[in-house]
Amino acid sequence: MAVIWIDADACPVKAEAERVATRLGVGLVLVSNGGLRPSANPLVRMVYVSEGPDEADKHIAEHAGRGDVVVTNDIPLAAKCIEAGAAVLRPDGEALTPANIGNVLATRDLMADLRSADPFRQGGGRAFSKADRSRFLDALDRVARKAMREANG
C-alpha cells in the first residue's frame, strides 16, 4: 500500500497533500516534533517524534520505502528515501530522483560552505508561490498514482 510521508514541521503543502491523498484514497503520514493539529481525515495519521534535530527525518527514513512518496526539502533525508526506493518531491513539485540527487547534494554542500565562509552573506531562497503550490499538486498526483501502481503490482 502506497503511503505519502510528509516532513511536516515546516512543510507549506500539508493541506494540498491531504487533498491528493483523499482523492486517491491513500494514507498520508505527517511526521512532526509537535505543534500540528491532528486531522479528522481517517486517511491522515500524525506521528509525533521527540524533540531534537533530525528526529522526524530519522523516522521517515526508517519507514519510507518502495511504493511510497516522501515530501521534504531536506536533501540528506531525500537521498536516504531515494536509496530505499521511495519517490521524493520537494514542496515546490521538483522531483528528486536517483539521476539528480547527487547534484542536488553537491549544490547543498557547496552553498553551506559558501555561507560558512561569509557570515555576512544575506538572502535565502525565493518566496513560495501559487505556481509552486500548483506544480506540487500536479506532481504529487502524478507521482502518487505511479507509486500506487508500483505498490500494487
Say what the pLDDT of residue 77 is.
94
Domains of the chain: 3-96+129-152 (3.40.50)
Q: Which is higher by pLDDT, 71 or 107?
A: 71
The cell for 49 is 517524534
For residue 113, give the H/E element and its range: helix 101-117
Residues of the chain with pLDDT > 70, as a percent, come to 89
Say what the pLDDT of residue 125 is.
66
60-97 pLDDT, tens per residue?
Answer: 999 999 999 999 999 999 999 999 999 999 999 999 99
Model's pTM, two decimal places?
0.87
**Residue 151 pLDDT greater than 90, yes or no:** no
Chain-centre distance for alpha carbon 148: 17
